[in-house]
Amino acid sequence: MSKFRPILSGTCPKCGKGKIFETKGSLLHLKAPKMHEHCSECGYRFDKEPGYFFGAMYISYALAIAELFPVFFLCFWVLPLGWMFALMFLVLILTMFFNFRASRVLWIHIFHE
């Protein structure tokens, strides 16, 4: 089994079948993504200990920077500074739940033994 398919599909690092996230979250309804505690297929525990996902914030930060770089370079010479920062803030808001899910999925897969 490829290592990348479960990461891209957000599934369990052990069996590759059970979904890690129960819901994707919704900006319109102000609902954060919700995780399963265990894999529905093999019982693998996703949240190993309190504070386990603290390190996933660094991945989320790196993702946000990677998303903001193109916005910055495309808008720096075109838009006034205030509009550019407003656009960057909008991009951050729109990608926030994606970054949340992607960083946790990556974190789980990085530290899967």
- Interface ranges with Zn ion (CB under 5 A): 12, 14-15, 18, 39, 41-42, 44
Which residue's CB is nearer to Zn ion, number 41 or number 67?
A: 41
Structure tokens at 24: 């994707």
Nearest to 73 by CA among 87, 59, 63, 62: 87
Structure tokens at 65: 């920077």
Rounded to an integer, what distance in angstroms lies between the CA atom of residue 57 and that of residue 107?
9
Which residue's CB is nearer to Zn ion, number 3 or number 31?
A: 3
CB 6 within 8 A of CB 109: yes
* Minimum distance from residue 46 beta carbon to Zn ion (Å): 9
* Minimum distance from residue 53 beta carbon to Zn ion (Å): 18
Which residue's CB is nearer to Zn ion, number 12 or number 35?
A: 12
Q: What are phi and psi of 77, to 5 degrees?
A: -95, -10
* Minimum distance from residue 43 beta carbon to Zn ion (Å): 7
Rounded to an integer, what distance in angstroms lies between the CA atom of residue 91 and that of residue 95?
6
Which residue's CB is nearer to Zn ion, number 42 or number 94?
A: 42
